[in-house]
Amino acid sequence: PASEKRLAPLRNQRAAALPGHSLVVYDPDLDLVTDLAVCEDAYESERTGVLPLLDSARPGQLWMADRHFCTRTILQSLQQGRADFIVRQDARHPRIVHEGPWHDRGRVETGQVLEQDIRLDEGQAPWRRIELRLDRPTESGESVLWLWSNLPATIDARQIADLYRRRWRIKGMFQRLESVLQSEIRSLGHPRAALLGFAVAVLACNLLAMLKRSVEQAHREQFPEGWEASPYHLAVQVRSRYEGMLVALPVEHWPTWADGSASTLAQRLLELARHIKPGQVATSKRGPKVKKTREWVDSAAARAHVSTARVIEASKGKRP
């Protein structure tokens, strides 16, 4: 978001000052950010900024992205890396030279699924275009979604539609970055400072995800199903106890794990996680949302004001 205008060149600017943006590769199975690219220029195209990240595409990976990344260059880069992809079709999608007939593939929870083969070039191996006809339109009023994929035919079209529906989980990761780790520091106006702060928060988010998984695994026998640790409560515990720990155990007495194996570190994390009381870090499951009708009031009533002291005094004589 926009930053404070502490930098001298920004003080005469009326417009909001954007210190840049970032692109991340998120693995929902591991709950980790596996790669990151930062862009100092807030106006730099994400389609250009994502290209260096595609070099890490490998066989056996499935990359999912929204319609903004449905370009010939991006999709062919993933194909050359022998990685699979599911990308939502853009309104100005790459030009298709061949479209096969549509085939009905059945239903999913949200609507009807159809499929056809497409090619961008004559000699290219066919890709798949999945059409999802929604029973209920999206918030933006769209009733049909198109997805492009190069997954093999052994993967059912309905499974592709369901996989893309779960892409929203990356939003949960960004929400934790902002609310739990305060990754967006408005006082950091210089692009490099703001992006460094964000990158440090991403690293902390990965560490928090590892601690979360360790706590859940350590108490799996006691809570076999349905129990989940809260990143927020874990972060609160770390924040509240860290300074006291430094007093009781200075840094020079900390054990080093640089030369240890991953399995040794994992066993040590599980051993420590068993001392945590699960009830102190458990998530609080939210109940179903109660649908509220929007109440409209007269404009004069909306602009009116009251004295809090008088309202409290008047309520004392009323029985509940």
Domains of the chain are 15-167 (3.90.350.10)
Dihedral-angle region of residue 307 (phi above 0 means left; psi in -120 to 50 means alpha; beta otherwise): beta
d(CA 148, CA 68): 13
Question: Which residue has 């997954």 as its token pair?
Answer: 151
Query: For the chain, percent helix, then strand, then coil, each to nearest 5?
Result: 40, 20, 40
* Cα dihedral sign, 174-53-65-167: negative
pLDDT at residue 293 in the model: 72
Nearest to 130 by CA among 59, 70, 79, 73: 70
What is each CA distance from 153 to 79, 104, 150, 269, 306, in whole angstroms?
16, 14, 9, 41, 66
Nearest to 50 by CA among 86, 81, 25: 25
pLDDT at residue 35 in the model: 94
pLDDT at residue 174 in the model: 84
d(CA 227, CA 276): 14
Interstrand relation of 98-99 and 84-88 (parallel, antiparallel or unpaired): unpaired
Encoding tokens for residue 121? 């070039």
d(CA 184, CA 180): 11
Positions in the chain whose pLDDT score sits under 70: 294, 318-320
Q: What angle do CA 186, 188, 190 make, to 5 degrees?
A: 130
pLDDT at residue 107 in the model: 93
pLDDT at residue 314 in the model: 85
pLDDT at residue 300 in the model: 81
pLDDT at residue 319 in the model: 62
Encoding tokens for residue 111? 């609507």
pLDDT at residue 286 in the model: 74
